[in-house]
Amino acid sequence: MSAEHLQAKQLIIDEIREKLEKAQSAVIIDYIGTTVAEADAMRKKLRESNVDYTVYKNTLMARAIEGTKYEGLKDVLEGPSAIAISYEDAVAPARVLNGIIKDYKKMSFKAGVIEGTLYDAAGVESIASLPSRDELIAKFLGSIQSPVSKLVRTFQAIADAKGEGAEPAAEAAEPAAEAAAEPVAEAAA
């Protein structure tokens, strides 16, 4: 091999390593059987979710992940392999790819490392069913908001009931005060 060829390979290895250093997760899939149109649609969906999807040679990926937290993925780098990397939402690659796999009924998960933990294909599928971070936050806030809203409505109902009960009592107090004032005025006359 020429020095230029080795240098080109080293650039790709460095590129993969750099991506993985910033990544929260990486999922390896077998992309066999997809058409060009399906691959383009898949890449578009992944881009919309801020997931970096690339096909590299298995030997270059294996060299790039040596000594990293992604080293466990070396065992699945056989046959056609593509890597999906997320820098923001750790579950995004698994979730998006899971939907695509169900739609096309092609491809399959090989393995993945999500937030430092290695998962086999079944583990990645189970992670893929988890809601996104934003969905979890929304559910959490909704669960907090519900009891607080109920408490506020209860206090408002109590205040409304007291307000309604106070008006008749105040109206009844006015004639009683007038009646009490009349005998005092008659006695003074």
What is the band of 176 on the pLDDT scale with cuts at 50, 70, 90? very low
pLDDT value at position 181? 47
Per-residue pLDDT reduced to its tens digit, 11-39: 999 999 999 999 999 999 999 888 899 99
Most confident of the ranges 103-107, 138-142, 151-155:
103-107
Per-residue pLDDT reduced to its tens digit, 130-152: 777 777 788 888 777 777 778 78
For 105-178, list the strands marked E by DSSP. Answer: 108-114, 117-120
pLDDT value at position 136? 79
Per-residue pLDDT reduced to its tens digit, 88-99: 888 999 999 999
Whether the per-residue pLDDT at 47 is higher than 50: the answer is: yes
- The Cα–Cα gap between 94 and 130 comes to 9
CATH for 3-130, among 3.40.50.2000, 3.40.50.720, 2.40.110.10, 3.30.70.1730? 3.30.70.1730
Tokens encoding 105: 């009924």
What is the band of 173 on the pLDDT scale with cuts at 50, 70, 90? very low
pLDDT value at position 165? 59
Mean pLDDT (whole number) for 68-74 = 94
Query: Which residues, including other chains, have CB under 8 Å from residue 113's CB and lie 6 or more apart?
Result: 25, 26, 69, 70, 72, 73, 119
Most confident of the ranges 58-72, 143-157, 161-175:
58-72
Which residue, among 60, 133, 38, has the nearest Cα to 95 in the 3D structure? 133
| pTM for this entry | 0.69
Q: What is the mean pLDDT of the chain?
A: 84
CA angle 17, 23, 28 (to 5 degrees): 75
**For the chain, what percent of residues have pLDDT higher than 70?**
86
Whether the per-residue pLDDT at 183 is higher than 70: the answer is: no
Mean pLDDT (whole number) for 49-60 = 94
